[in-house]
Structure formats: C-alpha cells, structure tokens
Amino acid sequence: MTSPHRIAFIGLGAMGYPMAGHLARAGHDVTVFNRNSGRAEAWQSDYGGYVASTPAAAAKDQDAVMICVGNDDDVREVTLGEHGALSSMREGALLVDHTTTSEALATSLAASADQSGVAFLDAPVSGGQIGAENGALTVMIGANEQAFTEAQPLIECYAKSVRRMGPVGAGQLTKMVNQICIAGLLQGLAEGIHFAERAGLDVPAAMEVIAQGAAQSWQMNNRAETMIRGEFDFGFAVDWMRKDLGIAIQAAQSVGAEVPVTQLVDTFYADVQGLGGHRWDTSSLIQRLRAGEANR
C-alpha cells in the first residue's frame, strides 16, 4: 500500500461514494464534499474522515483532489466556481477528474490548474457502480507522465486497470471510444434477445449458449439475464448515457469520424426516455423494442 496521503473527494454519487470509501479503507486521510450534505454525512458515518462545507474547504492543503460529478458544468462549478477547489489547492497537488466530460473542458481545466501550480489528470472511469463498489474500475488517463506516476497508486485503491493514454484530453477521448462501443453492443444484445423472444426460443438458454462463443461480451455476461427479466436498476442511467453519447458524437464531428450506429442508438435512447426510462440503466434498450411490439 502507498503511504497515507491527504485527499479530498468531491462528488459522492453512485460512483464517488464507494470510490472515496476505498481511499479511506486504504488508510488515506479523506475529506469529502457533496452538494447534498446528508450524503456526505452518511459517508462519514460509514468510513470516518471529514466533511467539508465547500469544494475549496475540502481541497485546502490536500495532496490530491478527486472529482466525480455529473457533467462539464458541474466540474466547472466545483473547480472554478466561487468556492471551487482550485482557489485553495496548494502548489504541487494533484487534481484528478473522474467525471466523463468533453476533451475541451479537460484541456481548459488543465490550463487553469497549471496557473496554480497544480497537476491535472482527466481520468474517466468504466465499470459502473458495481465496479466502483468492488474496487475494480478501469481508468483511462490523460496527463503528463510525472502526474500519472504520482496519482496511480491512489487511483489503484478503486481500480483494477489504470493506464495513461497520452496527454491531457486523451483520457476523455478514450472514454468516448468506450461509450461508442457499449452503445452498439447493447443495441445488438437487445435485438438478439427480442428476436429470440419473438421466435419462441428458450431465451435464457439461447443467451447462455451463445455466450460461450464469439458473441460473448461483458454486457452479455452481466446484463442478458436482467434484460430478459425487465430489470433496469443497475446504476448507469440512460440520461447519463445520452450525455456521454452527445459528447462523443460532437467530438466525432470535430475529428471527422463517422459514427452512424452511435447516432442511431442515441435516438433509441431518446425513445427510452420517452417511455419514462430516464433513470433506467443503459441495458433498457430492449424496452423500446418490446414497446414497439406492444403497439403493433
């Protein structure tokens, strides 16, 4: 285990709550901030540590500040706002953003951090709430090599895979690749299950047998059974996926990449939102197909 550090963790949602908990369990001195103070107090009851009243108060004199909030605007608020973390961070500290954001935000935030003598890492994560709870996230990082070397032992408290992808922004671009791939996989899985249902197959048996072949994927192994049962409460919500896909589609246009399947699946997620599935998890694409069948 790395020697204890003073760490602030900002954002205690479904991901941040267990991530901060892993840091505390590893022996680090953790101070948390969350906009819903009751959530922060619950975390303190579970793990000890300290609760701060503002991001600036949480970040003061810390070795590292970790952020895991909702979107670009949330990151700006907790870093650059009136009581933002950068206003109090000491020179030489690390600022690690685990939020999935635009590459442009990562680049601009790195510039602001540099003016304060703070090293910035864009470090989006994959693995969902289960991965966060089990300390088994995959973290893709954009940063200089020195900052990555310093941050890696801390991030490994809640990750099974930590990799530097290049300079600042590369982490967010890699996360976009991740979401593009997941969107296509989940739509294919939804269509396969729907076809099996309509064809009168033993659907669980069909999924079990093809999972032993080339169709196998994490999504099939972990979501096929719950999709068949119509259970969609497994963490990463459709609203957040649409946010991520919007970022990826915009970036694709910027770099001249064609992502027609991603664009199409994004519209399918909009249909799921229309069914009331804003907070359903991303495997709920199957419900759109079932709803279409019911309307025929």
In contact, 147 and 120? CB cutoff 8 Å: yes
Where does the chain have alpha helices with state H? Answer: 16-25, 37-47, 55-59, 72-80, 103-115, 128-133, 145-155, 170-198, 203-210, 218-229, 238-255, 260-274, 285-295
pLDDT at 259: 98
pLDDT at 3: 77
Which residues are CB-neighbours of 37 under 8 A, at least 6 positions away? 51, 53
User: What stretch(es) of the chain map to CATH 1.10.1040.10?
Assistant: 173-295
Intervals of the chain under pLDDT 70: 1-2, 293-296
pLDDT at 294: 66
pLDDT at 1: 46
CA distance 14 to 277: 18
* Topology, domain 6-167: Rossmann fold (3.40.50)
CATH 1.10.1060.10 is the classification of domain 173-295: no
State how far the alpha carbon of 79 is from the alpha carbons of 51, 61, 98, 101, 254, in Å. 17, 15, 13, 14, 26
pLDDT at 292: 83
User: What stretch(es) of the chain map to CATH 3.40.50.720?
Assistant: 6-167
The helix-helix angle for 218-229 and 170-198 (nearest 10°) equals: 50
Enter the DSSP assignment of 189: H
pTM of this prediction?
A: 0.94
Q: Which two tokens stand for residue 198?
A: 């309509």
Q: Which two tokens stand for residue 284?
A: 């709920």
Catalytic residues: 175
pLDDT at 100: 97
